[in-house]
Amino acid sequence: MAHDTSEFRYLPAQADVLHATVPAAQRLSVALPDGRTLSMLRFGEGDPEVTLLHGAGLNAHTWDSVVLLLGRPALVIDLAGHGDSSWRDDLDYSPAALAADVAHAITAQTAQPQVLVGHSLGGLTAAVVAAQHPALIRELLLVDIVPALDTAAAPAVLREFYGVTDFDTRDDIVERAMSFGFGGTREDTARGVFFNTRVREDGRVEWKHHFAQIIGHAFDALADANTRPDAADPWTDLTAVQAPVTLIRGTHGFLQDSDVAEFTRRLPTASVVTADAGHNVQETSPATIAELASAALIRLPN
């Protein structure tokens, strides 16, 4: 029997577990003004209503379970330097740089204001998009991230995790990811590793995304930007968002109580929802995100 080698071959089994229907799915790419391409997945029929942005070191397929449970047309983007999107020669993977790509893609793919969902780096990027392009955004959902995260734990964990960038086998990567508490079940983690790696000509397996190669530079650049005397308030974009905002916190995620308290102080009308999940809420509690996105689609826009 021939094996299905398409990137969507896992969807039927996931849908069966979730008691969901497999939607139409296709991979698309959009040409960016500087010559790069931004790759993305489009699910369902009709104009996308929800756009989803993954975190650093992940890719569009981290949202597969959420999309299946959502059951609505969705656009799921591979951020620059991740998945099948072009890498940036300038190594600039700041939220501001990524947001310009996302706004371009949303404009090209749908005429509807989006429920924009962003996890981690994707959440910071989503806040910039929502602040700078209010007409494109209906509601904003942030997944386990706030600006100026009040902890060194997240960068430290990711620096350590990506301290090894090539492996003998994908199983070795699965073991490493699970030892760090990333992903859900072993099957889920193996699926994520498959999408996030490639086999080199020498037979070694390496991370597919640029972030793994430059993580030290990325975090150092972010820290420098936030600590310069002339640095702008990192909350500026999020507090400028006109659309309703919801923060989804994983009980075992990166956010501390002080981070959530500052979020509430800065955005007193925003909502906070807690999920029994780690940092990657979309993988360990996808129903929480799907339900919140569905509720946002039902509400009348502001």
Q: Is 292 helix (H, G, I), strand (E, B) or coil?
A: helix
Kindly state whether residue 246 falls inside one of the protein's structural domains: yes
pLDDT tens string 207-264? 988 878 777 555 555 555 555 455 578 999 999 999 999 999 999 998 999 999 999 9
| Distance (Å, whole) CA 37 – CA 80 | 8
Q: What is the CATH number of the domain that holds 286?
A: 3.40.50.1820
Name the one residue in this structure whose structure tokens are 């993988």.
283
Helix orientation angle between 153-161 and 211-227, rounded to the nearest 10 degrees: 160
Kindly state whether residue 252 falls inside one of the protein's structural domains: yes
Tell me what pLDDT residue 153 has.
54
pLDDT tens string 48-96? 999 999 998 899 999 999 999 999 999 999 999 999 999 999 989 889 9
| Distance (Å, whole) CA 229 – CA 1 | 63
* Residues 6 or more apart in contact with residue 153 via CB below 8 angstroms: 254
- Total domain count, the chain: 1
Among 136-145, 153-162, 291-300, the range scoring the smallest mean pLDDT is: 153-162
Kindly state whether residue 255 falls inside one of the protein's structural domains: yes
Residue type, 283: E
Enter the pTM of the model.
0.89
Kindly state whether residue 203 falls inside one of the protein's structural domains: no
300 CB neighbour count, 10 Å cutoff: 5
Kindly state whether residue 44 falls inside one of the protein's structural domains: yes
Can you give the residue range of the structural domain that contains 122? 11-154+234-298
180 CB neighbour count, 10 Å cutoff: 12
Kindly state whether residue 263 falls inside one of the protein's structural domains: yes
Kindly state whether residue 226 falls inside one of the protein's structural domains: no
Kindly state whether residue 176 falls inside one of the protein's structural domains: no
